[in-house]
Amino acid sequence: MKVLMFGWEFPPHISGGLGTACYGLTRGLAEAGIEVTCVVPRASAIEVSPRVTVVDGSRITTGATATEKNVSPQVTPVDALLSPYMAKEDYVMQQSTGGKSGGPSWQHYGRDLFAEVTRYGEVAAALARDTSFNVIHGHDWMTVPAALEAKRLSGRPFALHIHSLESDRSGMRLNEHIYGIERLGMEEADHVIAVSHYTKGKIIAEYGIPDDKISVVHNAVSRADFPGVQLPSGAQSRKTVLFLGRMTAQKGPDLFLQAAQKILERRSDVYFIMAGSGTMMRPLIEEVTRLKLERHVTFTGFLRGADVEAAYAGCDLYVMPSVSDPFGIAALEALACDVPVIISKQAGVGEVISGCPKVDFWNTDLLAETILEVLDDEALRKEIVMTCARELARETWRRAAEKVIGIYNRLIL
């Protein structure tokens, strides 16, 4: 079976859980013998598996030129300024610099985020003509135009994989254009894949998609991707609590800081690390300065690769206070590094790990109490890790891939 997949990121270019999930699922599909051609904007040299071809969407010409010359994917770079979690404002900033700090604007970019998404969809036309595949697999709203164009040209079935919804990212301030693209994609798709039952429920309630058109496939984690980091002697001389995620309202970094403040009002032997980047980072730094907590709260900025594992290894507890999180793969990564976790009740990852404390995102008083309880009880920390480890052992990318393959088989019958 051959799959044409429109995804976003592969290592080392990862900006969040969506890239990690795309990589893990694709690797699982390859291990199961599926041939995958994955189109990603602005890819670099990437090695995934002998069965996986990663196509850089920036190197495919589109429109009349592509039709007339019947070009291959290695001709004429046409960068796509798209990445997961991108907002309109992010696109404007990227477009003004050509995606490079201080660089000139590139005239071939779309005039706005939605025009660029449409232009990325034109890549599908070139691929659908020249690529052999049995099924189309798209990840989240930005891939919908591309996947629908591939479906129109090929007549092949299309599965849309939902990792995050506009209501998750924006709360009550929905971007109606993005919501419309999401809804169109789910209505036109032959099947919808949700990363959690939490997300499936939202899809039914907010988009009116029938229950039997949606399958849940949980994300996973590979412990082999976290071989262990040897920290310098004395690196963990005080209790350290980690937030690692996008600095956006969806992930609740402000709630993490509120809990930290409540703890630091009672004791001074706890250290808080906030790792990640996003629109809330500057206000949070200013709030830390206003509260005079600079000695107890550190911002690392965005981390990737070995630095992520080092952040997990250097903490005693990982906290994920998400306001609305379809999954939350970072919690699994922390556990894979033998770090206990506390998650919000509004995170889909709670469906696969029952052995960790769960707190309503808005209850920062209880969150602070729970953090202290876990920090002060070594036996409890070990119990959380051991219980969740048994649950993690059942959740593998190969298992997720087999569920997806079952969906593919039903679609192509």
CA 394 to chain centre: 21
> Where do we find the tokens 């939490």?
198
Looking at residue 142, its pLDDT comes to: 83
What stretch of H or E contains 391?
Answer: helix 378-392
Do 156 and 84 share a structural domain? yes
Smallest CA-to-CA distance from 189 within 146, 218, 239 is with: 146
Looking at residue 44, its pLDDT comes to: 41
Do 246 and 150 share a structural domain? no
Looking at residue 65, its pLDDT comes to: 37
Looking at residue 98, its pLDDT comes to: 52
Distance CA 144, CA 183 (A): 10
Distance CA 392, CA 356 (A): 12
Distance CA 233, CA 115 (A): 52
Do 402 and 280 share a structural domain? no
Do 338 and 233 share a structural domain? yes
Is the overall model pTM greater than 0.75, yes or no? yes
Cα–Cα–Cα angle for 302, 382, 264, rounded to 5 degrees: 55
Do 354 and 281 share a structural domain? yes
Strand order in the sheet with 239-244: 297-301, 270-275, 239-244, 317-320, 341-344, 358-359
Q: What's 229's domain CATH number?
A: 3.40.50.2000
Do 382 and 402 share a structural domain? no
Q: How many folded domains does the chain comprise? A: 2
Query: Two tokens at 37?
Result: 């051609």
Looking at residue 68, its pLDDT comes to: 33
pLDDT tens per residue, the chain (413 residues)? 999 988 766 555 566 677 788 888 988 998 899 988 888 776 443 444 455 555 544 444 444 333 333 322 222 223 455 666 666 666 555 655 555 444 444 444 455 677 777 777 777 667 777 778 999 999 988 889 889 989 998 999 999 999 999 999 887 788 898 899 999 999 999 999 999 999 999 999 999 999 999 999 999 998 777 766 555 544 556 899 999 999 999 999 999 999 999 999 999 999 999 999 888 999 999 999 999 999 999 999 988 778 888 999 999 999 999 999 999 999 999 999 999 999 999 999 999 999 999 999 999 999 999 999 999 999 999 999 999 999 999 889 999 999 999 999 999 98
Looking at residue 288, its pLDDT comes to: 95
Looking at residue 114, its pLDDT comes to: 76
Residue 266, judged by CB atoms within 10 A of its CB (0-12, 13-18, 19+), counts as exposed
Do 8 and 156 share a structural domain? yes
Query: Two tokens at 365?
Result: 């008083």
Distance CA 200, CA 78 (A): 35
| Domain span holding position 324 | 223-392
The residues that bridge with 274 in the sheet, in sequence order, are 243, 299
Do 400 and 385 share a structural domain? no
Distance CA 322, CA 151 (A): 35
Looking at residue 294, its pLDDT comes to: 93
How many CB atoms lie under 10 A from the CB of residue 202? Answer: 19
Do 249 and 180 share a structural domain? no
Do 288 and 351 share a structural domain? yes
Do 378 and 322 share a structural domain? yes
Looking at residue 172, its pLDDT comes to: 72
Do 333 and 192 share a structural domain? no
